Structure 1
Amino acid sequence: MPFDPSMLFMIVILVFMIGMMWWQSKKAKKQQAKVNDFRESLQTGTEVATYSGLLGKIVSVDLEKEQAVIDSEGSLSRWRLQALTEPPIVPAYVHDDEVDEYGNRLEDKADDQSQQDEQDADEAQKPIEATAEQNAKDEQTK
């Protein structure tokens, strides 16, 4: 049987596809385990969000019925554990007037500039002090 390059190509593609399916399955199992750990660790006071967008804190959890009661700004509601997820991380808001064109905070620049000015003043003072010390030594030797 002669060597057929197209057969080798088909085998490589098949191995690649099987590898991709295995990798996706492993990734999905890891994600599912993470979600299950979150749901099992729910306690009173834990901040949660629902997939529909409700934000609140856990008041009570019933693992047998797979339900939780959420307090959202004073109103209580009962949700299935499958509908709960971790709350989104809200980034800190910085107004455009507080940053330069590169996104650096303006007060940080002012602080850096004042520290640089202090360092420059200290370095300018060092030669004067060194000269004064040298003159004092010279006078003592006379």
Structure 2
Amino acid sequence: MNYMFLIVIIVVMFGMMFWQSKKAKQQQAERQDFRANLQPGTEVITIGGVIGKVVSVDTEYEEIVIDSEGSQIRFGFNAISREYVRPAYVHDDEVDENGNPLSTDSTDEDQAAQEPIEGEIEAAQTETEQKNS
């Protein structure tokens, strides 16, 4: 019984090692493909947080030159983290206190549909008064 449990644990450990190794190789291939296809004009971010546009790529020495607000900086390929995508700006007036977006598609017709009709309220009140008497 104890040997069977030990064998199962060893098989699970080898399975996890194989899966992680496969995933790491896939990520490495994606990074190499990204770096190989870098073209001037692509906006990138480095592992240090520098954001800029690619000016030139030197595949022989694995170097890349980035222009960041007028300053040109040379980096190694390994310093490039990913392509930079600027997040969308959301004004504070467009979200509630929890950061959830406010509904912007409400119209006057929707608001009118939410308001109760006075005649219905009076009829409901008289019905409840008659039941209580």
- Report the identity percentage: 53
Question: 1:100 — aligned with what?
Answer: 96
Matches for 1:49-128 after TM superposition, within 5 Å: 49-100=45-96, 103-106=100-103, 108=104, 111-114=105-108, 116=110
Question: 2:40 — aligned with what?
Answer: 44
* Matched letter for residue 35 of structure 1: R
Count of aligned pairs: 112
Residues 44-87 of structure 1 show CA distances to partners (whole Å, capped at 9, x for unaligned) of 10111111111100001010110011100111111111111214
Matched, 1:34 2:34: no
* Matched letter for residue 104 of structure 1: P
Secondary structure of 1:112's partner? Answer: coil
CA distance in 1: counterparts of 2:48 and 2:96, whole angstroms = 37
CA distance in 1: counterparts of 2:97 and 2:71, whole angstroms = 44
Matches for 1:121-136 after TM superposition, within 5 Å: none
| Structure-2 change in CA distance of 1:48 and 1:15 (3 Å) | same
Higher gyration radius (CA): 1
CA distance in 2: counterparts of 1:104 and 1:77, whole angstroms = 39
Higher helix share: 1
CA distance in 2: counterparts of 1:22 and 1:112, whole angstroms = 53
TM-score w.r.t. length of structure 1? 0.69
Structure 2: runs of 5+ lacking an equivalent: 114-133
TM-score w.r.t. length of structure 2? 0.73
RMSD: 2.1
Question: 1:17 — aligned with what?
Answer: 13
1:100 deviation in Å?
Answer: 3.4
CA distance in 1: counterparts of 2:52 and 2:97, whole angstroms = 37
CA distance in 2: counterparts of 1:83 and 1:34, whole angstroms = 15
CA distance in 2: counterparts of 1:82 and 1:94, whole angstroms = 33
